[in-house]
Structure 1
């Protein structure tokens, strides 16, 4: 287990950067990451895999919500993706190494590797390899995480010195339609924490009263939660979590 640095617990973490679409700052963009740095927040970002095996900073599996293109992001190669304009901006989809250079260790960075198996299974590898390669020379506080335990275990092998965690929730059927009940029940119990050599979880903020969360915390796990969207929800979350991932309001720096 590689311990999560204290900085991840002392600064609120801006979910997909400090974005505000109304002001023209879109999630997971250079502008959102610069805004987070200027505000003194940590940063959470997502990575998806390109067709040619590169980690791209983008949340969705499909491109239509944020771009004028359609289809899965993994059907396009890196160079093509970096030319795709995000809606209502002059931004394009960035590759992870560029964003690492932009952040340059100035604030804590939490990287979520999106599940590439489709069912939280073992058909993973290229995305984790690309993330590990990008982080080899990164000098700054960084941690990796995923909903898929297989992904976290692979990252443990590829980047053993990078702190890692599991993204978790209560896996309601209506939000996880691609997962069968057996898989959702298993993941709900967070059984892979020790096997993954994790030092933290990032758990859904409205399920923090789950007894498994307090059990993990008592055993030494750091508890981050997602995604807080109001100061009132932050107050409640901080009663049970060590830190928050937030969006949609200005979290107070110094409350971690």
Structure 2
């Protein structure tokens, strides 16, 4: 499975409606980042500040939705969208990985996700955010993001009642994380890989999905997931 990281961030202005519309035509799944802005709305942006991505400055948490919508993302003419807007434009047969960038937003995120026809999975590096998600919904699939083995990726995912574990791709090469996860019924989606040779190596190791900034890096024969681990 090919998962478009922020809507293929290397090819389009990341996390924007334009990027996600385009990614929806090519990817098996899209990955987005969600946090709360100053007016209380859930918006789709990776960074806690707008400085890197836009022509503005300041913390997302201090800016209202109207102020965020007035900003220009990477000179593209696109603005920072809301979670609801993104959910409304991704084709129903494309899965959506909603990464929670902070705690205290899970209940509202689950409420926004509920009407979506897409397969949706909620992921986070934050154990607390995943516990909040499970408290808000007993059934929504979740995934634990891990970038270190000392985070005990598989064990933690099981403890948090996750459907998947999402490790940094390098962890798959020097640990038995894939086989351990599969033995316990967890899917494995590795992030973030743009090199086709590395992607092929990960696919041969048995990952269920690869998160990538570039389209077309996952060979066609690995694009279909045969079981219910698909996000």
Taking structure 1 as the reference length, the TM-score comes to 0.79
Contact kept? 2:38, 2:61, Cα under 8 Å: yes
Higher mean C-alpha displacement, 68-77 vs 142-151: 68-77
Q: How is 1:245-256 mapped onto 2 (pairs within 5 angstroms)? A: 245-251=211-217, 252-256=219-223
Can you give the 5+ residue segments of structure 1 that lack an aligned partner in the other structure? 1-10, 117-123, 172-184
1:229 aligns to what?
194
Contact kept? 2:69, 2:79, Cα under 8 Å: yes
Q: Secondary structure at the match of 2:199?
A: helix
CA RMSD of aligned residues (A): 1.9
Distance 1:249 1:37 in 2: 11
Distance 1:26 1:151 in 2: 27
1:7 aligns to what?
none
1:6 aligns to what?
none
Count of aligned residue pairs for this structure pair: 220
Distance 1:26 1:98 in 2: 16
C-alpha change, 1:207 and 1:129, in structure 2 (3 Å) is same
Matched, 1:243 2:189: no
Contact kept? 1:230, 1:249, Cα under 8 Å: no
Distance 1:28 1:254 in 2: 27
Contact kept? 1:47, 1:56, Cα under 8 Å: yes
Alpha-carbon displacement from aligned partner over 1:141-186 (angstroms, at most 9, x marks no partner)? 1111100011111101112221111011217xxxxxxxxxxxxx4x
Distance 2:178 2:62 in 1: 37
Distance 2:153 2:143 in 1: 15
Can you give the 5+ residue segments of structure 2 that lack an aligned partner in the other structure? 224-231
Alpha-carbon displacement from aligned partner over 1:119-149 (angstroms, at most 9, x marks no partner)? xxxxx32x21221121121122111110001
Contact kept? 2:24, 2:91, Cα under 8 Å: no
Shift of 1:20: 3.8
Taking structure 2 as the reference length, the TM-score comes to 0.87
Shift of 1:40: 4.2
Contact kept? 1:222, 1:242, Cα under 8 Å: yes
Matched, 1:220 2:207: no
Contact kept? 1:19, 1:35, Cα under 8 Å: no
1:56 aligns to what?
43
1:135 aligns to what?
113
